[in-house]
Amino acid sequence: MIRPETDMKMQTPVSDRVETKGLVYFARMLDKIRLKARGELPPDYFVGVDDDPTMFDARCTRFLGVNYDELADRTLKGGSDEEILEWCFERGRRPSEEEISIWNAFLTKRGWRDEASADLQAAKERSGFGDRNDIQTWVDLHDAEEGRTPRAICCR
Give the pLDDT confidence of 82-127 residue by residue, as tens digits.
Answer: 999 999 999 999 999 999 999 999 999 999 999 999 999 999 999 9
Number of domains in the chain: 2
Whether 25 and 71 share a structural domain = yes
Q: What is the pLDDT of residue 8?
A: 60
Asked if residue 79 and residue 15 are part of one domain, the reply reads yes
**Do 114 and 43 share a domain, yes or no?**
no
Q: How confident is the model at residue 147 (pLDDT cuts 50, 70, 90)?
A: very high
> Is 27 among the domain residues?
yes
Are 89 and 122 within one domain?
Answer: no
Bridge partners of 24, per DSSP, are 19
Question: Nearest 5 degrees, angle CA 19-CA 95-CA 34?
Answer: 45
Mean pLDDT (the chain, rounded): 91
Q: How far apart are CA 107 and CA 25, in angstroms?
A: 8
Check residue 129 and give its pLDDT.
Answer: 97
**Residue 72 host element (H or E):** helix 68-76
In a domain, 43, yes or no: yes
What's the pLDDT at 126? 96
Task: Tell me the pTM.
Answer: 0.89
Same domain, 49 and 126: no
The residues, ordered by sequence, that sit 6+ positions from 149 with a Cβ below 8 Å of its Cβ are 134, 143
Tell whether 28 and 92 lie within a shared domain: yes
Range of the domain at 124: 110-156
Q: Same domain for 82 and 152?
A: no
The predicted pLDDT at position 48 comes to 86
For residues 136 and 87, membership in a common domain is answered with no
Rounded mean pLDDT, 9-20: 95
